Amino acid sequence: MSAVTIHQMAERVAAMMEERLGVSGNDLAAKLRRGKRSLPRKVALAAQALADASENAKNPKLLVQINQADVANSYDVCVRHLATVKPGGRMKGLVINAAATVALGLLILGVVIVIVRQMNGQI
């Protein structure tokens, strides 16, 4: 596996992170710093390994030390996870969660008002 291939893998994962998660940055390492919390631990570790391999691939002496099977496995883990993430899915979930919280609060308030009115009527 050449240095160009490793860089292309890192660029592909970085592009998917930007597209699917909305994370900005210049390269995979920068995007990973910003969006690491939105990835599962296994995927975040795989992305970090891919970013490190991409950085090491710039040096010919370090390129020889890169385990190609680990790089390919890390790439597969990242792409497999990011392919399942829907763009804007997190925002939709947050909006639905907020609406459900407000609805539950209004329901509880209504129950409390009914209980208080009934208690005042019996006294």
Residue 9: other Cβ atoms inside 10 A? 23
Give the three-class secondary structure for 51: helix
Mean pLDDT of 22-49: 89
User: Is 44 found in the same domain as 98?
Assistant: no
User: Is 74 found in the same domain as 50?
Assistant: yes
Q: Between the CA of residue 59 and those of 3, 10, 68, 103, what are the distances in Å?
A: 9, 16, 15, 57
The whole domain housing 51 covers 1-86
User: Is 36 found in the same domain as 9?
Assistant: yes
The confidence score (pLDDT) of residue 93 equals 79
Q: Is the pLDDT confidence value at 121 over 70?
A: yes
Give the three-class secondary structure for 57: coil
User: Is 97 found in the same domain as 78?
Assistant: no
Contacts of 1 (CB under 8 A, 6+ apart): 66, 68, 71, 72
Per-residue pLDDT band at 123 (split at 50, 70, 90): low
Q: Is the pLDDT confidence value at 98 over 80?
A: yes
The overall average pLDDT reported for the chain is: 89
Structural domain count of the chain: 2
Q: Is the pLDDT confidence value at 41 over 90?
A: yes
Confirm whether pTM is higher than 0.75: no
The confidence score (pLDDT) of residue 10 equals 92
Count of alpha carbons within 13 angstroms of residue 1, beta-carbon side: 18
User: Is 121 found in the same domain as 103?
Assistant: yes
User: Is 92 found in the same domain as 55?
Assistant: no
The confidence score (pLDDT) of residue 9 equals 92
User: Is 71 found in the same domain as 28?
Assistant: yes
User: Is 3 found in the same domain as 54?
Assistant: yes
User: Is 62 found in the same domain as 34?
Assistant: yes
User: Is 70 found in the same domain as 28?
Assistant: yes
Mutual angle of helices 3-21 and 28-35, in 10-degree steps: 30
Q: What angle do CA 52, 82, 29 make, to 5 degrees?
A: 25
User: Is 96 found in the same domain as 62?
Assistant: no
Q: Is the pLDDT confidence value at 49 over 70?
A: yes
Mean pLDDT of 95-116: 94
The confidence score (pLDDT) of residue 20 equals 86
